[in-house]
Structure formats: structure tokens, C-alpha cells
Structure 1
Amino acid sequence: MRLCGPHTASPHPSPSTTRVSPIPHFDLRLATPYVPNGLPARSPPPFLSPPSSSFSDPLTTHSLSQDKRLSVKGELIRGLNNGDDAILVAENFLGVDDGVGAWATRPCGHAALLLHFWGLEIERRLSANATTVDPVEYLQSAYEETVRATSSPTEWQGTTTSATALLHWTLGADGVQKPLLYVTNLGDCKIMVIRPSEERILFRTAEQWHWFDCPMQLGTNSIDTPRKDAVMSQVALQEDDIVLAVSDGVMDNLWEHEVLKNILDSLHKWDNGRPETVDLAPPPDLSNDRMIFVARELLNAALTIAQDPFAESPYMEKAIDEGLAIEGGML
């Protein structure tokens, strides 16, 4: 998504659009490309033992030799469930939760529930003139509500990582409100801010791990909590900055310098009138064709590496560092 100023923001936002913390003349123009449900997003899938009372068991008892390709002998793999994944976007906030695939054999919905309750917390607690913003506490409340919703008699089991970004404001030295992004992260999803005018990554979250392929996560049997483990950052934004919220589906396949180059090349391609057809657009009141094109280009670049059994990838590099013979992209 791109931060927009007075000459780019929509003059007639939809009445259904939620404005939780509007900044005069600033909002986020959105794009939300997503891989269709049914394709695994965390690997090596599937885990061979179901979740147990031990936090570590379902996260480590997988086969490192299992085929990770999107197809086996020419047939597309659609039966590998990876747990639930969820994205949430609005004019002033966005989030991505990546459900951990170890729980795919059980009813689970932690990623979607956590983002749902997080959005409700923002709407309930944050007003346009609020001077105190506490995203970690919003996430903590959402986590506690998720635990209650998935406990007896429901008894859903699951865990999820979480990365969120909330656009609010701060007062500059001249007393004028300026856009400020509040970022929270727990696990291996990532929020990145790219400043095209300077052709650089302005900000990125740091991944949080217990061990290789076991990120920090919220939910069943996990010792992690937002209040104890989530990291909160503040990023001062300028108009036309790009805010990315991505899961490991992108960052396991593309290095950060490749993400930056892909974004800048896509912007250049669009601005010079050579974009390909863009499909799967989000609702018109939040969409921005330029951002949709940029996001789709990034998704396609990650997918190309993910399906290549001989590609070099960040995931492969991490695995080799752990002494594991894994090569190619990561689904």
C-alpha cells in the first residue's frame, strides 16, 4: 500500500469504509494479492504427527526429505492444508497472520480470529484525536479474545504469527500533524517500508524464531504472548512511501534487495505505461490500480522461485546454515 496525500486521496470515500484514525488528507491506497486457498504456504508440509500437548512436537516432527514442489509427476498438489492464513486491510491499518501448518489436521482459525479481534480493538479504543496509541496492547486483547473463542467448548487448536501496521499521526515541530506508522511484529511475517524517492528500504521488522522453521507464534501450547514478545516500532512516513505486509511466502523466496528491485522496477514499468493486465482487484473504494500491479508483480516473482526446485532462495540459505540439505524455492 502507498501513503497518499491531498492530491491523491479519494475525495469521496465509500460510506462503508472504516476510518479509525484519519489524518487530514492522508490515507493508505491498497492492494491485496493472495495465493488461492489450497496451495501450501509453509514448508516442509505436511507435518507427519498431529499436534500434541507438547508445544515443540508438532513443529519439529516433519520429513525434511518430502517433495516440496507444487506438482508431483505433473499433478497439482491441492490436498496439503497449511492451517489458516489471514489478511486484513483498511484505510488506516493492515495486518497479515500466517497460520502454522502443524495444526492442519485439526479445526483451526486462529489467524483470522486474531486479526478480526485486533481490528475490533482498534475501532473500539482508537479515536482520531487520540494522543496515546498502544498497538501491542490491542494485539494482547485480541489474543486473549482469540484464546477464549477457541477454548472449551469450541476447542480449536492452532497457532499463528502476526505482523500489523497502523497509520496514525504525530505532531511535528511546526504543530502540524504528520503521518506515523505503528508496526507490531511477532514471528516471521514482515512489515517493510520502501521509499521510492530514495530507492531504499526505510524500515523492516526483524524475524523472531525459537529455532529454524519454528517462528514465535500465538495460540495453542505456545509460550509466546504479544505483551511479552511482540516488538513495536514507529516509522515516520512521507507521501508515496510503500508499506508492505508479507508472509514467509515472499521472504523465504526473495531476498530484501530483490524485493526492493522488484518494487522499483514495477513502479517504473507502470509509470511508463507498460503494465500487464491486472486482475483480482480489491473493492473499488480501497483499490489503487498502480499498487495492485506492483503487488501482483511481487507475488509472481516469489511464486516463480517457490516453484523452482533448483533456485537459490533465502530459505535454502537458512537451511544450509542449519546443516540441512534443502534446495530450491519454498512453497
Structure 2
Amino acid sequence: MAISLIRISISQCLSVSHPLIHSLRSSTLSSIDESLRRKRLLSSCAPSQLNPIRSEVSFCVGTHLIPHPNKVERGGEDAFFVSNYNGGAIAVADGVSGWAEQNVDPSLFPKELMANASNLVGDEEVNNDPQILLKKAHAATSSIGSATVIVAMLERNGILKIASVGDCGLRVIREGQIILSTSPQEHYFDCPYQLSSEAVGQTYLDAMVSNVELMEGDTIIMGSDGLFDNVFDHEIISTIARCRDVVEAAKALANLASNHSMDSNFDSPYSLEARSKGFDVPLWRKILGMKLTGGKLDDITVVVGLVVSS
């Protein structure tokens, strides 16, 4: 896939053998609305596309990536992979842009990290453990740089295993409710944990690890911080409820994040966190009733996975 594409949408049912790499309010839904949403999403993965012998459940995935406006020419600094291994594996890595100050391309490390993870996902030593996958992929990465990263691996029995370092995130949505949400790891505001080429830094041992049992119809939202810094959870829920399939959902979420990131008046998750950490407008602006608002310009990667019965 050409990296010159700026807005990219991909869909695949993960029981189809085609691993993919690219650098690339809230009210509870009624049972009727949720049933319709499931039918719409499930219809995007026709049964004829699935291997009924291979697994009990698997992922049907849609992705969308929008680079930072100033990084369009080189495709941004996010990378991801999607694999059909076992019930499916998905991952996102976000390159740390500060490396550009040392004349290092920040996109190289996350790209290589994701390529290595994709190649190693079926390794016998990994044994369906995303934390070990991070260990081996990190050890195999020779590029200079660093990245935040999250990996999720679905077993055939429906158990989803997650390992993350930094502020890439994941949500599991069931019947209009978030039943699992990962938490970002930060040294301090805007300085997340990261895997690095440097000897001093985080390793796979610092990863946050969690497991959850999934059901047919559950939706997984994975993304770089460009998504979660700009879109609230209730917006994620309402957006996917309106979408017909995983491709449309991923694109809608990425576009919503992009729009919010460029809106200086939007009181985003990022601006809320900044104010909570003591960052705000000057005192004279506060006296006038102003406050720090706005989204965060960033690379935006969204992966939407629907759990389907095989």
C-alpha cells in the first residue's frame, strides 16, 4: 500500500489470511438500536468470508489514518498492523516527535517495531502473549527513536489479551457501554512511557497488561493518542452507533478527531487534562472568563474491530 495515501480506510475479516502493515451525553443505546447496530456491523463481514472451522470468534477490522497536517508528505509518525493470527491481532505505535530535533525521522522506529511485531506474532515463544510480543519486537528493532505502543491479541475462545506502553489506548464497547478502557502511562503531562532505542527507558516489563472475555458483537476501538486526546468516550459510542460497518466507523472516528484537533474552541479531553495539571491561560484572561481550550494536532490512527462468530 502506497504511503502517499493520506486518508486510508481498510477493512478485512481476520479469518481471511491477509496480514496488513501500514505506517500509517452519552445515553445508553436502547436494546433495539443496539440490535440494529450489531446487524449492520455484522453484515459487513459476510459468513462466506469466514472460516467456520478456524475459530469460535475472530475480528472484522476497519482502519483509518490521518497524519498531522505538518507531516502529510511523509505519512505521519504513527504505524499499525493487523494480523489474522489466531482470532486476530491488532496493534498501534505512535512515534515520539521529539527525535526530529536530533535529525532523526520519528516514523522509522514505530514502523520497524510494527513490522517486527507482525512478523513475530505467530512465534512459538510469544505464545499468544502480547507482552512477550512487545519484548521480542522491541529487541528486534534497530532504528533510532521511540514510540508508545499497544497490542491486543484475540484467542479463539474470545479472550482478548492487551499490553500497552504509554498513551495509545483501547476501548471495548458492549451494548452501548464501555466495559474496558486502558489507562495512559505518563512520567508527567505530555511525556508518556515509551519503548526506545536508548538503553535507559521503558521495556515490556513496564507494560500495562489486561484481559477481557469478548462476545460476538463487541466492538474494540484502538488508537493513538490523536484519537483519545480529541474524542470523548461518549462521542466514540454515539459515532459507532450510527455507522454501518467497521470501515465507516474507523473513518468517522478519525475525521471527528481531526475536526476537534483543529477547533480552538473545543474543550477536548486534552485541554481538560492540561488544566487539571495546572496549564491554563494567563491570569488576565482568566479574569475575563477565558480558559485553555482546543484540541491537539497530532497523527490520528483508528482501528475498529468487530467480534464475529466464525
TM-score (norm 2): 0.70
> Deviation at 1:166?
0.7
> Deviation at 1:25?
4.6
Mapped to 2, the partners of 1:5 and 1:80 lie a distance apart of 35
Q: For the Cα contact (< 8 Å) 1:209–1:216, is it kept in 2?
A: yes
Structure 1 residues 328 and 93: alpha-carbon distance in aligned structure 2, compared to 1, 3 A threshold:
same
Matched, 1:106 2:104: yes
Q: For the Cα contact (< 8 Å) 1:164–1:183, is it kept in 2?
A: yes
Q: For the Cα contact (< 8 Å) 2:172–2:219, is it kept in 1?
A: yes
User: Could you say which residue in structure 2 is the equivalent of 1:188?
Assistant: 167
Structure 1 residues 32 and 7: alpha-carbon distance in aligned structure 2, compared to 1, 3 A threshold:
closer
User: Could you say which residue in structure 2 is the equivalent of 1:240?
Assistant: 217
Q: How does 1:248-259 map onto structure 2 within 5 Å?
A: 248-259=225-236
Larger RCO: 1 or 2 (CA < 8 Å, sep 6+): 2
User: Could you say which residue in structure 2 is the equivalent of 1:215?
Assistant: 192
What SS does the aligned partner of 1:33 have? strand
Mapped to 2, the partners of 1:301 and 1:79 lie a distance apart of 18
Q: How does 1:240-319 map onto structure 2 within 5 Å?
A: 240-264=217-241, 266-267=242-243, 270=244, 290-319=245-274
Structure 1 residues 30 and 328: alpha-carbon distance in aligned structure 2, compared to 1, 3 A threshold:
same
Name which one, 1 or 2, has greater alpha-carbon Rg: 1
Mapped to 2, the partners of 1:320 and 1:80 lie a distance apart of 33
Q: How does 1:82-93 map onto structure 2 within 5 Å?
A: 84-91=77-84, 92-93=88-89
Structure 1, residues 68-119: CA drift from partner, whole Å, max 9, x if none?
xxxxxxxxx5589797310111231111100011012313411111111112
> Deviation at 1:220?
3.3
Mapped to 1, the partners of 2:76 and 2:145 lie a distance apart of 8
Mapped to 2, the partners of 1:184 and 1:297 lie a distance apart of 26
Structure 1 residues 97 and 252: alpha-carbon distance in aligned structure 2, compared to 1, 3 A threshold:
same
> Deviation at 1:225?
0.4
Mapped to 1, the partners of 2:170 and 2:95 lie a distance apart of 17
Matched, 1:125 2:124: yes
Residue type of the alignment partner of 2:83: A
Structure 1 residues 194 and 79: alpha-carbon distance in aligned structure 2, compared to 1, 3 A threshold:
closer
User: Could you say which residue in structure 2 is the equivalent of 1:16?
Assistant: none
Structure 1 residues without counterparts, runs of 5 or longer: 14-18, 41-76, 151-156, 170-177, 271-289
User: Could you say which residue in structure 2 is the equivalent of 1:329?
Assistant: 295
Structure 1 residues 9 and 180: alpha-carbon distance in aligned structure 2, compared to 1, 3 A threshold:
farther
Residue type of the alignment partner of 1:192: R
> Deviation at 1:232?
1.6
> Deviation at 1:133?
3.2
Q: For the Cα contact (< 8 Å) 2:83–2:118, is it kept in 1?
A: no
Give RMSD over aligned pairs.
2.9
> Deviation at 1:184?
1.0
Aligned identity (percent) is 29
Residue type of the alignment partner of 1:145: A
Mapped to 1, the partners of 2:129 and 2:60 lie a distance apart of 24
Structure 1 residues 237 and 307: alpha-carbon distance in aligned structure 2, compared to 1, 3 A threshold:
same
Matched, 1:139 2:134: yes
Structure 1 residues 83 and 305: alpha-carbon distance in aligned structure 2, compared to 1, 3 A threshold:
closer
> Deviation at 1:231?
1.5
What SS does the aligned partner of 1:254 have? coil
Mapped to 2, the partners of 1:82 and 1:102 lie a distance apart of 17
Q: For the Cα contact (< 8 Å) 1:164–1:245, is it kept in 2?
A: no
Q: For the Cα contact (< 8 Å) 2:152–2:161, is it kept in 1?
A: yes
Say which of 33, 46, 61 aligns to 1:30: 61
Mapped to 1, the partners of 2:54 and 2:184 lie a distance apart of 30
User: Could you say which residue in structure 1 is the equivalent of 2:145?
Assistant: 158
What SS does the aligned partner of 1:136 have? helix
Q: How does 1:25-64 map onto structure 2 within 5 Å?
A: 25-35=56-66, 37=67, 39=68
Say which of 88, 91, 97 aligns to 2:93: 97
Structure 1 residues 185 and 9: alpha-carbon distance in aligned structure 2, compared to 1, 3 A threshold:
farther
Structure 1 residues 249 and 140: alpha-carbon distance in aligned structure 2, compared to 1, 3 A threshold:
same
What SS does the aligned partner of 2:65 have? coil
Structure 1 residues 258 and 24: alpha-carbon distance in aligned structure 2, compared to 1, 3 A threshold:
same
Structure 1 residues 329 and 87: alpha-carbon distance in aligned structure 2, compared to 1, 3 A threshold:
same
User: Could you say which residue in structure 2 is the equivalent of 1:280?
Assistant: none
